[in-house]
Structure 1
Amino acid sequence: MARFWVCVAGAGFFLAFLVLHSRFCRSPVLRNFTFAVSWRAEEILYRLDVDWPKHPEYFTGATFCAAVDSLNGLVYVAQRGDNIPKILVFTEDGYFLRAWNYTVDSPHGIFAASTQYEQSVWITDVGSDFMILWLHGENGTGPAKFNIPHSVTLDSAGRVWVADRGNKRIQVFDKDTGEWLGAWNNCFTEEGPSAVRFTPDGKYLIVAQLNLSRLSVVAAPPVGSIGECSVISTIQLADQVLPHLLEVDRKTGAVYVAEIGAKQVQKYVPLNSYVTPFGS
């Protein structure tokens, strides 16, 4: 069994121990780990769905990314390795549906953009040819320059948020004009962000830090002001889990984390009603 430690801090401190007969005992990376998860007592926003997926044995390579097709209730996982299926498809409940290995070499990122008329999946493949869709800035450390820009997302106000991993910051731009709107670096003094996504209500960003094996829930700023980064809650994963990229379900608010160290994808479910899905 994997032992799951929960350290909760708030006005007072207490320690709770949970023993889970979860799939972690089947993971070669996590088999000997004790999990340390830190949250503030008043800000417990997510719980780990230990039953997702139903068939973790399909993870046979390094899981680099995940994408959610909220319209069709599908979760796509891209993994790397020799002689293995590169794309796995699960239901949101965790049941394995199918896999494919056609035309994909070394997937790095994946995004589902389905409509009611067509299912569409976009994959960044660092081993093949590519097409530039949006380009801004150049290599460097100043404003609007980058060092390993690792993840990009949009908010409802038309701002582009870039996880500038090598420079230990998130930079923000206007989608249409390309104007630099500001940067966050006070939250990332230890390590830069590797992934960034908004919750469905747009109130928070979920940020992953790869080598720290940490997820942070960060308050989103109002329109017209970037301000300072403010961490609301953190989820500290086991050492060597290495969360690479993550995705948020636009309907349910569930967070799917692709972990290249643990060679798995984990699902975190929001506990509270702060997540208000679009269209509700």
Structure 2
Amino acid sequence: MSQILGHGQHRYEPLPEWGNLPSDVILGDVAGIAVDDNDRVYLFNRGDTPVVVLSQSGDLLAAWGQGIFTNPHGASIGPDQCLYLTDNFDHTVRKFTLDGKLLLEIGTAGVSSGFMSGRPFCKCTHAAISASGDIFVSDGYQNACIHKFDPRGNLLKSWGTPGSGPGEFNLPHNICCDVDGWVYVADRENSRVQVFDQNGRFETQINNMHRPSGLAITPRTCPACIVGELAPYLHVNRDFPNLGPFVTFMDQQSRVISRLNASKGPGLGAGQFLSPHSIAYDSSGDLYVGDVVDADWHAVMRESPKPEHPRRFQKLRRVADTDARTDPKSDR
């Protein structure tokens, strides 16, 4: 019997055999995951084939993107059913059709705006698209701001500075837009999600989390945040328990609704996480989580040898309330 993770209305069963890749498709770190309206799953990864498309059942549908990207980082699909891919080493956001035709490139490939410049882009991380088609980009590893573009890629507004106050950032890592137009930013090294209106006015923050990396939101008004929390990495706290890595559901009042936390602890097995960098869900409510292995392997699993072909992603099936296998205590 598989372990059931989480509790309440957010319980999940890991599916260890999901994902039928041929032997010649070897994924790198799955830095970005997106799911389209037909439940096709897009794995934006750092292997030789940057975009790998799977069916809901895990069968390979397409693979493309060779020779385009420098370091895949973030993936999202807009209301226009186009794929937006963020390359943090290349300082670009590219918009594609779902079959890989390039439609738009924001930023100049290989050209940085400069460290903490406040201008697009300096190691941008992720993009989110509003219902009206505006594009919001988190920027990023060497910047501390959000940029808003119109659907044609024209810059409309930038906001944010380095720091820990409202509207300040310490590595804005992922970004989402909800159905009401609010913008959610995973402010990773400030251990919070900040919420803004579409003009960059600070509304609130969601905290009680640790180093939010992956971020998704549930599809409703006042959504819950689905947060991929990273483990500690400093020598002074990296052995502390209950600080990740795991996937957490949080409401707008910073309360934990459910936590997917394998009893086996961190790792790359079914139901385990190492660095949950990307999160998406399909029409059934099933979750897809991508792990970045290289960045955190020695900090989190330094007692274990790194596997030759570590598992880079996994699917977790949502368990219905009536499922007899559900054990609401299994996440602790």
Q: In the alignment, what sits opposite 2:34?
A: 67
**Are residues 248 and 39 of structure 1, via their aligned partners in 2, closer, same or farther at CA, if it must alter by over 3 Å?**
closer
> Greater shift after overlay, 236-245 or 104-113?
236-245
| Stretches of structure 1 lacking an aligned partner (at least 5 in a row) | 1-17, 21-35, 222-227, 274-280
Distance change >3 Å, CA 69–CA 86, structure 1 → 2: same
Q: How many residues align?
A: 222
**Alignment equivalent of 1:155, drawn from 160, 163, 178:** 178
Say if 1:76 and 1:38 are closer, same or farther in 2 by CA, change over 3 A.
closer
Which residues of 2 match residues 72-91 of structure 1 at below 5 A?
72-81=38-47, 84-91=48-55
Matched residue SS, 1:166: helix
Q: Work out the CA distance in 2 between the residues paired with 1:265 and 1:56.
A: 15
Q: How far, CA to CA, are the matches of 2:318 and 2:292 in structure 1?
A: 23
Partner of 1:278: none
Q: Percent identity?
A: 29
- TM-score after normalising by structure 2: 0.61
Q: Is the 8 A contact 1:198 1:248 kept in 2?
A: no
Which amino acid counterpart does residue 181 of structure 1 have in structure 2? E
* Distance in 2 of aligned mates of 1:252 and 1:150: 26
Deviations 1:230-255 (A, max 9, x none): 11110114424211111122x22221
1:230 counterpart = 2:249: no
1:132-168 deviation line (CA, Å, top 9, x unaligned): 4523211111110000101111122211111100111
Aligned to 1:179: 201
| Distance change >3 Å, CA 39–CA 114, structure 1 → 2 | closer
Look up the SS of the partner of 2:49 in the other structure: coil
Q: TM-score, normalised by structure 1?
A: 0.71
More strand by share: 1
Alignment of 1:258-269 (within 5 A): 258-261=290-293, 262-269=310-317
Map 1:82-161 to 2 at 5 A. 84-100=48-64, 101-113=66-78, 115=80, 120-130=82-92, 131=106, 132=120, 133-134=147-148, 135-161=158-184
Q: What is the SS of the residue equivalent to 1:194? A: strand
Q: Deviations over 1:45-99 (max 9, x none)?
A: 22223332123854431221111112x3311111114xx2111111111001221
Runs of 5+ unmatched residues, structure 2: 93-105, 107-119, 121-146, 149-157, 232-243, 268-273, 294-309, 322-332
